Amino acid sequence: MMKRILLVVLSLSGWSLSTCLLHQYHYVPDLKTWTEAQSYCRQRYTDLATIGNTEEMNQLINTVLSAGYNSQVWIGLYNEINWTWSDGYTGSDADFRNWETNIEKEPNFDLADQFCVSTGAHGTWFDDQCTFPICFFCYSGSQMNPDFVFVNKAMNWSSAQGYCREKFTDLVTVRNRAENLNIQNLMQSNYAWIGLFRDPSFYWSDQSIFSFTYLDQVANHIGLMNVTCGVADLQKSGRWRFQPCETRNPFVCYMSSPVKEAVKRQVVKLGMKLKDSSVDLNDPAVEANILKKLQDRLKENGVSEVTVKWREQPDGKVFQKGEDIFHKKNRKKTKL
């Protein structure tokens, strides 16, 4: 008997409930640096746009396109660049770099996935994907008096680091041009790992956890910058890339959804025909079962941030028979 009632309820059509995404986006056409855009968003909205999933990414794209703009906009993404030596060396000459600048402008952070450094046969350095298997340089002895060793084994950067720490002291630290020339003279391959690396360090302006990624597979020239800032490129399906933070772009802010700040109520009226007239829809057990089925159906349709509750009538009941409603309307008309 109960199953028949539920089938009647689930066969109903023409009703709906609406909900809001976590973020509501606002396109601002003013040209500002990333920091200026961040201040603007924090003053007038919540922050620069944070994007946590594909649905929000599509919402941001639609927001910008509907404003008639289809190029690059600042979002709240930024990347900190902090090069570190594997052995932890931080002396005054720890900042020595010999980046390749002729053939390619390095470091170019290609594919937004290059966090380890290799040296080429000519002694210039490249940022590379840490998973590449290439030869590497270790050193033995102390930091101040190292002996460089070329290891003619192809490993990814992490494996090379472990090998050097087990067999020698660590991956090589290169502190000046003399030491760089020393490892160049020992080179027996086109490329080899050295001990320089950095963490991914992707962040959102509002300090949300960086979990969803939509990074473009392009070069991101970071040069000597310590921080680069993220844009969504509408000409490339909104894919993210990094630019100098001093660049002036329009931008997208977000405001937290009202779903998070206040309860949005919507009344949906349901009409049902019972195959068994003896069933009491106002029985608490019956109400609870129908409610559960409605909630399950919402989840099946991708609506998860909605709670369904019955709205009681003044007499304390949820359901009223059609004939009772008809008589009440007639009584109201008679009074008028």
Domain extent, residue 269, equals 2-18+264-335
Are 2 and 289 in contact by the 8 Å Cβ rule? The answer is yes
58 & 141 share domain: no
193 & 88 share domain: yes
pLDDT (0 to 100) of residue 306: 66
CATH number of the domain that residue 217 is part of: 3.10.100.10
The CB density around residue 232, as the number of other CB atoms within 10 Å, is 27
244 & 224 share domain: yes
Burial string for 268-296 (b: 16+ CB within 10 Å, else e) reads eeeeeeeeeeeeebeeeebbebbbebbee
Among 81, 112, 105, residue whose Cα is nearest residue 233: 112
Q: Which two tokens stand for residue 278?
A: 């003896």
254 & 268 share domain: no
129 & 272 share domain: no
72 & 208 share domain: yes
189 & 223 share domain: no
| CA gap 120, 190 in Å, rounded | 6
96 & 237 share domain: no
Peptide bond into 107 cis (omega under 30): yes
| CA gap 274, 2 in Å, rounded | 10
Are 180 and 174 in contact by the 8 Å Cβ rule? The answer is yes
Written as tens digits, the pLDDT of the chain (336 aa) is 333 333 333 333 333 333 444 679 999 999 999 999 999 999 999 999 999 999 999 999 999 999 999 999 999 999 999 999 999 999 999 999 999 998 788 999 998 999 999 999 999 999 999 999 999 999 999 999 999 999 999 999 999 999 999 999 999 999 999 999 999 999 999 999 999 999 999 999 999 999 999 999 899 989 889 999 999 999 999 999 999 999 999 999 999 865 444 445 566 666 666 666 677 767 777 677 777 777 777 766 656 556 667 666 656 666 666 544 434 444 444 333
302 & 326 share domain: yes
Residue 48 to residues 32, 160, 165, 208, 214, Cα–Cα distance (Å): 12, 40, 43, 11, 16
Helix, strand or coil, per DSSP, at residue 27: strand
Residue where a domain stops, chosen among 233, 259, 285: 259
Helix, strand or coil, per DSSP, at residue 272: coil
45 & 70 share domain: yes
118 & 179 share domain: yes
Residue where a domain stops, chosen among 197, 217, 236: 197
Are 6 and 289 in contact by the 8 Å Cβ rule? The answer is yes
Q: How many domains does the chain have?
A: 3
Burial string for 171-196 (b: 16+ CB within 10 Å, else e) reads bbbbbeeebbebbbeebeeeebbbbb
* Residues paired with 171 in a beta bridge: 138
